[in-house]
């Protein structure tokens, strides 16, 4: 049985087996949650990301995919990096956003992670409207076939928390 929980706060202060990062294809850091994870997790995460760029993901991590590294100094065993789709004037591809959640859970299953903390992928710099992103995220994790026991959405601000709470009912 998978339980879905919701908390408001900074994901870098969470304890979980795996913490998901809303990264970009370069895997080499950025702003938002990505910047916060690298800052608090320390240089081991960036080192592991550089190794991935030098091996499996020479051209970067494609949108909708996920890959794990050490969690460095975070209170977690792994960071699972995933790349959300950008939302622009033409909209965005919801199947790619759903894929971020599904692929992250697939990687979590491979690792044997029991608890996974997710941020609201694509809802910051990448511009995805919160209510729609919350619907896609909740539907994706509810529909996932996973052995993860706790899926925790960690929402940074009131608006995001309300949007996810409304979807979870």
Q: Which residues bind ligand AR6 (CB under 6 A)?
A: 10-12, 22-24, 30-34, 36, 84, 119-126, 154, 156-157, 160
Shortest distance, CB of residue 83 to ligand AR6, whole angstroms?
Answer: 8
Shortest distance, CB of residue 56 to ligand AR6, whole angstroms?
Answer: 19
Beta-strand relationship, 76-83 and 66-70? antiparallel
Give 55's contacts (C-beta < 8 A, 6+ positions apart).
none
**Closest alpha carbon to 132 in 98, 89, 81:** 98
Shortest distance, CB of residue 1 to ligand AR6, whole angstroms?
Answer: 26
Q: Hey, what are 89's tokens?
A: 């004037």
Please tell me whether residue 149 adopts helix, strand or coil conformation: coil
C-beta of residue 163 within 8 angstroms of C-beta of residue 122 = no
Shortest distance, CB of residue 113 to ligand AR6, whole angstroms?
Answer: 18
Closest CB to ligand AR6 among 13 and 147?
13
Q: Verify whether residue 109 is a known catalytic residue.
A: no
Across the chain, the runs of DSSP E, i.e. the strands, are 3-8, 16-23, 66-70, 76-83, 115-118, 150-155
Closest CB to ligand AR6 among 102 and 145?
102
Closest CB to ligand AR6 among 147 and 157?
157
Active-site hit among 10, 34, 139, 158? 34
Half-sphere exposure of 88 (CA within 13 A, CB side): 3
Closest CB to ligand AR6 among 41 and 119?
119
Active site positions, annotated: 34
């Amino acid at each position: 049985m998978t339980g879905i929980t919701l908390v408001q706060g900074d994901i870098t202060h969470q304890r979980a087996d795996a913490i998901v990062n809303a990264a970009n294809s370069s895997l080499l850091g950025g702003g938002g949650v990505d910047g916060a994870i690298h800052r608090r997790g320390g240089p081991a995460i960036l080192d592991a990301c550089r190794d991935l760029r030098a091996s499996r993901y020479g051209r970067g991590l494609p949108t909708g995919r996920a890959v794990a590294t050490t969690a460095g100094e975070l209170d977690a065993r792994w960071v699972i990096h995933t790349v959300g789709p950008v939302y622009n004037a033409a909209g965005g591809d919801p199947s790619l956003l759903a894929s971020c959640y599904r692929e992250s859970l697939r990687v979590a299953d491979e690792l044997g992670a029991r608890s996974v903390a997710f941020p609201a992928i694509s809802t910051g710099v990448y511009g995805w409207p919160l209510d729609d992103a919350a619907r896609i995220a909740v539907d994706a994790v509810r529909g996932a076939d996973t052995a993860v026991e706790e899926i925790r959405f960690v929402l940074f601000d009131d608006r995001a928390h309300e949007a996810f709470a409304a979807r979870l009912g």
